[in-house]
Amino acid sequence: MLFAVHMTVDLPSDLDPDVRALLVATEKEYAHKLQRTGEWLHLWRCAGRYANLSVFDVSDNDRLNELLWALPLFPYMEITVTPLARHPSALH
């Protein structure tokens, strides 16, 4: 199942710099792992914001929920999920 996921990150301004660096590095490592497995198909930065638009290809809603909740930055994110379906006018 394909899902478009919009994630906006809002880290507290008073977050310890070392904690912030560790969270960001751990998040990057986790994102790379999911991209290698094929579950995180696309990862696009939203220009000018600490946000991204991603496409996930997962077995079901529960799997997507599991992956999102495991994001190291999850506690600091606002997430919007949109299930995707093929468009009849799409070439592929």
In this prediction, residues 29-52 reach a mean pLDDT of 98
What would the pLDDT profile of 73-92 be if each residue is shown by its tens digit? 999 999 999 999 999 999 97
- Which CATH number does 2-83 carry? 3.30.70.1060
pLDDT of 92 reads 78
In this prediction, residues 51-57 reach a mean pLDDT of 98
Of the candidates 31, 81, 44, 35, the residue with the CA atom closest to the CA atom of residue 60: 81
Confidence (pTM): 0.92
Percent of the chain having pLDDT more than 90?
A: 99
Q: Is the dihedral of CA 8, 12, 13, 17 positive or negative?
A: negative
Buried b (16+ CB within 10 A) or exposed e, 56-84: bbbeeeeebeebbeebbbeebbeeeeeee
Q: Give residue limits of the domains in the chain.
A: 2-83
Q: What is the mean pLDDT of the chain?
A: 97
Q: Is 39 left (phi over 0), alpha (psi -120 to 50) or beta?
A: alpha
